[in-house]
Amino acid sequence: MLRAHAWDRGGALPGFEVARIGASGFGAAKVSDADSVTWGPDAILAGRIPVAGPSRFASGSGRCWPISRQSFVINAAGTVHQPAVVALRTFAGPEVRF
């Protein structure tokens, strides 16, 4: 996943996201693998707490609105998966600034 944000101080951050989704078929007479690239605008609400020197603790949550929502399909059975209209995200963890 590639995400671009103006992530310097935290707060409400608009951005853009590109993600790759992969699928592997199993259990059918004919199986195959497929990949899809999903992209769209996103926004997160985030914050950072300084720990020591360049180390910080970062956390936040946000949403992505995928513009490209390609379906995974089984022939003669129809769509088995399509990315949601809105994807929700949360994250928390250490961060080291270089």
What digits encode the pLDDT tens for the residues 65-93?
888 877 776 666 667 777 778 888 898 99
pLDDT at 90: 92
Task: Reply yes or no on whether the pLDDT at 96 is more than 90.
Answer: no
Can you list the positions of beta strands (E) in the chain? 2-5, 11-24, 33-52, 55-64, 72-74, 78-81, 87-96
What's the Rg (C-alpha) of the chain?
18
Task: Reply yes or no on whether the pLDDT at 63 is more than 60.
Answer: yes
- Please give the residue that has the higher pLDDT: either 98 or 10: 98
